[in-house]
Amino acid sequence: MHPPLDRPHPECQDVVQALKKCHANNSKVFFWRCDDAKTNLDKCFREEKKHMLDEMNKNFAQDRSNEDVLIMEALGQKVSFQEYLEKDKGYAKAQQENAAARN
């Protein structure tokens, strides 16, 4: 199953057109004739999705860091939750026990 073909897919427009043309030229009985076009479309959509996710998440670490600072300020804390966990001996022991149980 693929996303709707009527929404814009700038990176895959030529592949979308090839699939539409294949469907128009072949009977619904012989849809399997368009398998290559469908495979190419799926590959293009995967690459398009990867590119979109990479673009959306390129500043993730910085945004997350900014959120941590804002949360610490809002709660009046001096250390982040992650820093607190790293200093918590009980948490470190539980992490080690969980890792040992998984192995």
Output the pLDDT for position 86.
Answer: 85
Output the pLDDT for position 1.
Answer: 67
pTM score, whole prediction? 0.58
* Environment class of 101 (CB within 10 Å of its CB; exposed 0-12, middle 13-18, buried 19+): exposed
> What is the rounded radius of gyration, in angstroms, for the C-alpha atoms of the chain?
25
| Cα separation, 43 vs 60, whole angstroms | 26
Contact (CB, 8 A) for 72 and 79: yes
For the CA atoms of 68, 84, 78, 63, the dihedral, rounded to the nearest 10 degrees, stands at: -10
pLDDT in tens, 18-39: 988 988 888 766 667 888 989 9
Q: pLDDT band at 73, cuts 50/70/90? A: confident
| pLDDT, mean of residues 38-53 | 93
Percent of the chain with pLDDT over 70: 95
| pLDDT, mean of residues 88-98 | 90
Distance of CA 33 to the CA centre of its chain: 31
47: pLDDT strictly greater than 90 = yes
| Cα separation, 80 vs 66, whole angstroms | 11
